[in-house]
Amino acid sequence: CDFFKGKLNIGVDTIQHGVEGLMYLLTESSKLMISDIDFQDSIHVLGFSDELNTSLLQLYLDNRKEIRGILGELAPRLPSYHSLEWRLDVQLASRSLRQQIKPAVTMKLHLNQNEDQTAQVLQTDPATLLHLIQQLEQALGEMKTNHCRRIVRNMK
């Protein structure tokens, strides 16, 4: 702390914000794997000197693959789909109600996670299942929009 105040005449908060800003710039640029021209355009608006802009560009180009690799290792490992078993159960009567129809869909979802297989049992009524299907179809439809395609293309 005294070094920054005495030698550089810069506050600790200023150094901290500068380092955090540099980290944010490099991680976001590496996530999107933007080209060197796009990176230059992004930092040009910050008003730095040409020498500093060139240094930042070189820093980005030298480290973007390593940063992307580290970010990939930090990403959570989510389970992936393996298979699905399902069954339709219908309760036709009970002791108190002689005539009733109460359907239920039971699903057993098999997942792979870190080379281990797990299973989740889910149960719902057909109306909720239909609503879920409609929501998923709507989400798939939104993935076909130009905006989502652009986002997905930049994520790769």
Does the global pTM surpass 0.75? Answer: no
Q: What sign does the CA torsion over 140, 144, 150, 152 have? A: positive
pLDDT computed for residue 78 by the predictor: 84
Integer CA distances (angstroms), 15 to 10, 19, 33, 34, 48, in order:
7, 6, 27, 26, 16
In 3D, which of 85, 93, 89 has the Cα closest to residue 103?
89
Burial of 39-56, coded b for 16+ CB within 10 Å and e otherwise, reads beeebeeeeeeeeebeeb
Mean of the per-residue pLDDT values for the chain? 85
Residue type (1 letter), 2: D
Q: Tens digit of pLDDT for each residue in 128-144?
A: 999 999 999 999 898 88
pLDDT computed for residue 75 by the predictor: 77
Q: How many CA atoms lie within 13 A of 134 on its CB side?
A: 6
Residues 6 or more apart whose CB falls under 8 angstroms from that of 129 comprise: 105
